[in-house]
Amino acid sequence: MNKTCQSIRDLPGIRAIITLMVLLGFLTAFSGPAEAAASPWVIHDEARVRLIAAADTAGKAGDLNLGIHFEMEPGWKINWRFVGDAGVPTSVDWTGSDNLLRPEIIWPVPLRFSIFGLETFGYSGEVVLPIKAEVERRGEAVTLHATVKYLVCKDICIPHDDVVRLDLPPGVGTPSPEGDLISRFQDLVPGDGSAIGLSLEDAVLTGPLAEPLLQVAVRSTVPFDTPDVIIEGPPEFNFGKPEIRLEADGRRAILSVATAKSLSNDSVLEGKRLVLTVTDGQRGMEQTVIARFASPLTVSGSPASAFLGILGLALLGGLILNLMPCVLPVLSMKLLSVVSQGGRARRDVRMSFVASAAGILFSFLVLAGGLVALKAGGVAVGWGIQFQQPLFLVAMALLVTLFAYNLFGFFEIAMPGWVGSLDARAAGHGTGTHSLAGHFMTGALATLLATPCSAPFLGTAVGFALARGAGEIFLIFAALGLGLALPYLLVAAVPGLAMRLPRPGAWMVIVRRILGLALMATTVWLLSVLSVQVGPPAAIVAGILLLAIGLTLWVGRDGRGLQRRAGLGLTALLAVSVFALPASLGMPQDPASRSVTVDYWLPLDAPEIPLRVAEGKLVFVDVTADWCITCQANKKLVLDRAEIVERLTSENVVAMRGDWTSPSDEIMRYLEGFGRYGIPFNAVYGPGAPNGIALPELLTVNTVMDALGRAAGNGSADTAGLNNKGD
């Protein structure tokens, strides 16, 4: 028997089989369960689908990296988020999952499918739809239960509702083989284009108002191969396949897309929000623009000329911002800067005003950087949105109050020696207002306090910038800052304007006290806005703490040694307490939950507007905020005037008010529909203007009356008044 077994083992084929079995035994013994980070396939004749994860456990970081993995048979396809002319988008329902928060599909670059004159978008072959999600309870197991709803099409379309399930145990695991697959398709998700060498030059409408041609100009650092653009816009419009024109050795593409109404209505594309997904093979870029009419994009240099025009508007808008009501609270900062120059050397005057201008430009670039970061994160952005954040209001109130206490003489800012060497400080004045750093801070603070306001031309420039990429945002905001800084630069160029002022003396003490009171008034205004956002208790306690800071500084102003250190420590503690209030005493209020203080103003309801217009009524919209000083000026000087109130309360007029004091996605989307990213904003709708007439930032009685007349379909405000009172 032993000889027989030995002879069998000596056979070459048998030896190979035994060796293979031993290897398989080792692999089975020392490897984990197969496909621990993937669900079983759900298999159909035309496609199959499964759920995969980038790691084999839930991990401890709180983030989950998942994917819906499709494999289609040749010729079959599934749909993208936007199907085009026909179909149903692919979707995932996570009902039944446990310990899962905010799962979201991030879509890779799709393909275009042209069949029988219909344009659709989707994927063929193999695709992973990456899923970004979070766990609700860190350190615990995650149960994933997904119902994948998709339409798989070839000559016919077959709907599927496939359930895929995956359990991820707790603990720190290891990356799964499926992680590389998910990562490969994550790299195909369109961004702003900067990482892959794509940039949007311009997107304009040309031709007739009813069915215009949309032209999109795109640049590439490498020659284009198969450029395309997918347009997601109002559902009442269809967008065709683009005609492509390549220039600049294939590095510039003009994509011309025909538009047509799919519904019988009077809507127009101008002013609507469009999402453009530009593709070139597996490269993709996604940008949001507001449709606007302009000259056709036929000459390579024309977009640059248009951009130079926008820069000119930004420069002018920044200059006009100096005259807007919202800048009045910082007038004291500017006035103190000018008064302190009397009798100083020409070089010192010039350098101090250059420092103030540098502070303004620096602040605008910081604002631009913040908006770029928010936009990249998918957050709705707009001009002055920082005033919607309670912590920003607290920081500004604290900073302005400290400036006021400094002017009152409660404390002095001792600048480092290297700063003092840069600027010859006036003898006997240790307030820091004569240092270059002090002038720089004055300019920076003036900018931040000026941003609640929108000036003529500023809204156009900001709207253009925020619909473009990071480069355009930085350039346009730099032009805005340069415009605001022009008065400072003028004095720097002609320092004699400031040198003619009297030399600083005893009279400066009185001026400083008056200006300090002006800054305290600004603090009161900031706290009033905070009160609206987080409630009166938080604002009242914040005000008490700010007064306590002043009392502490005043008592310890002549202290030395331990007394001085104790006073500074108490001041720092009080300042930290001020910052802690918004989170501890109140929460930001939903604008929709705020009551309308005047009974004839209804809350803004954008979907309701066309219904009221269809009834033959006029709709007047006012988007405002408590932090927008220009908005308050418009109310006092125009909207609250007796003749305007009489018109708005007439039977045929509906007045709607949107409160943007706190963040509101609905209001942001409404403003974007007009290509606006800041307030004040007013519009009038009516039978003669179903898509609305946007009014200028600064209102007048005649402007409002004229817009109401045109919206009613009449030629003048007088006839509009007769119609409004009739019926």
CATH of the domain at 54: 2.60.40
Amino acid at site 57: T
Asked if residue 615 and residue 717 are part of one domain, the reply reads yes
Asked if residue 432 and residue 408 are part of one domain, the reply reads yes
The angle, 0 to 180 degrees and rounded to 10, between the axes of the packed helices 302-321 and 470-493 is: 50
Angle at 455 (CA atoms; ends 452, 459), nearest 5 degrees: 90
Has residue 14 been placed in a domain?
yes
C-alpha to C-alpha distance for 542 and 395, rounded to whole angstroms:
11
Asked if residue 222 and residue 163 are part of one domain, the reply reads no
Range of the domain at 388: 307-585
- Percent helix, strand and coil across the chain, each rounded to 5? 45, 25, 35
**pLDDT tens for residues 553-571?**
888 776 666 777 777 788 8
Element (H, E) at 473: helix 470-493
Please report the pLDDT score of residue 500 as a whole number: 60
- Cβ atoms of residues 618 and 724 within 8 Å: yes
Element (H, E) at 145: strand 142-153
**pLDDT tens for residues 607-630?**
888 888 888 899 999 998 887 777
Please report the pLDDT score of residue 317 as a whole number: 79
Judged by DSSP in three states, 132 sits in: strand
- Cβ atoms of residues 549 and 401 within 8 Å: yes
Has residue 654 been placed in a domain?
yes
CATH of the domain at 262: 2.60.40.10
**pLDDT tens for residues 288-323?**
988 887 767 754 544 556 677 778 878 887 887 777
Number of structural domains found in the chain: 5
Asked if residue 435 and residue 534 are part of one domain, the reply reads yes
Angle at 83 (CA atoms; ends 68, 91), nearest 5 degrees: 30
Has residue 456 been placed in a domain?
yes
- Cβ atoms of residues 590 and 550 within 8 Å: no
- Cβ atoms of residues 533 and 661 within 8 Å: yes
Judged by DSSP in three states, 345 sits in: coil
Please report the pLDDT score of residue 337 as a whole number: 59
Asked if residue 272 and residue 358 are part of one domain, the reply reads no
Asked if residue 654 and residue 681 are part of one domain, the reply reads yes
DSSP sequence for 176-198: -HHHHHHHHHHTTS-BSSGGGTE
- Cβ atoms of residues 325 and 629 within 8 Å: yes
For 389-416, b where at least 16 C-beta lie within 10 A, e where not — what string?
Answer: ebebbbbbbbbbbbbbbbbbbbbeeebe
Please report the pLDDT score of residue 46 as a whole number: 95
Q: Which letter does DSSP use for residue 33 in this model?
A: -
- For 645, residues 6+ apart whose C-beta sits below 8 A from its C-beta are 600, 639
Asked if residue 156 and residue 258 are part of one domain, the reply reads no
Among 137, 166, 186, give the residue marking a domain's end: 186
Has residue 493 been placed in a domain?
yes
Structure tokens at 601: 């103003």
Among 142, 158, 186, give the residue marking a domain's end: 186
Please report the pLDDT score of residue 425 as a whole number: 41
Amino acid at site 682: N
C-alpha to C-alpha distance for 578 and 545, rounded to whole angstroms:
7
Q: Which strands sit side by side in the sheet containing 283-290, from one edge to the other?
A: 227-232, 273-280, 283-290
Instruction: Kindly tell me the sign of the dihedral angle through the C-alpha atoms of 674, 676, 678, 684.
Output: negative
- For 128, residues 6+ apart whose C-beta sits below 8 A from its C-beta are 52, 67, 68, 69, 70, 108, 181, 182, 184, 185
Going along 291-346, which residue ranges are E strands?
A: none
The residues with which 71 forms a beta bridge, in sequence order, are: 48, 126
Asked if residue 364 and residue 455 are part of one domain, the reply reads yes
Has residue 36 been placed in a domain?
no
- Cβ atoms of residues 200 and 216 within 8 Å: yes
Element (H, E) at 684: strand 681-686
Please report the pLDDT score of residue 110 as a whole number: 96
Judged by DSSP in three states, 689 sits in: strand
Asked if residue 511 and residue 382 are part of one domain, the reply reads yes
Please report the pLDDT score of residue 598 as a whole number: 59
Among 585, 604, 630, give the residue marking a domain's end: 585
Q: Kindly list the distances between the CA atom of residue 634 and the CA atoms of 304, 637, 643, 678, 683, in Å, as whole numbers in the listed order.
A: 36, 5, 14, 15, 14
Judged by DSSP in three states, 526 sits in: helix
C-alpha to C-alpha distance for 462 and 474, rounded to whole angstroms:
11
Please report the pLDDT score of residue 721 as a whole number: 36
Q: Kindly list the distances between the CA atom of residue 95 and the CA atoms of 65, 132, 146, 377, in Å, as whole numbers in the listed order.
A: 18, 16, 7, 27
Asked if residue 714 and residue 613 are part of one domain, the reply reads yes
Report residues of the chain scoring pLDDT below 70. Answer: 1-36, 264-266, 295, 298-306, 324-345, 375-386, 412-435, 446, 449-460, 463-464, 466-469, 496-508, 558-561, 581-598, 675, 714-727
Which ranges in 322-345 belong to alpha helices (H)? 331-339
Nearest to 634 by CA among 591, 697, 688: 697
Has residue 37 been placed in a domain?
no
Structure tokens at 249: 């050795």
Asked if residue 311 and residue 296 are part of one domain, the reply reads no
Q: Kindly list the distances between the CA atom of residue 328 and the CA atoms of 453, 488, 671, in Å, as whole numbers in the listed order.
A: 11, 16, 26
C-alpha to C-alpha distance for 577 and 677, rounded to whole angstroms:
33
Asked if residue 650 and residue 508 are part of one domain, the reply reads no
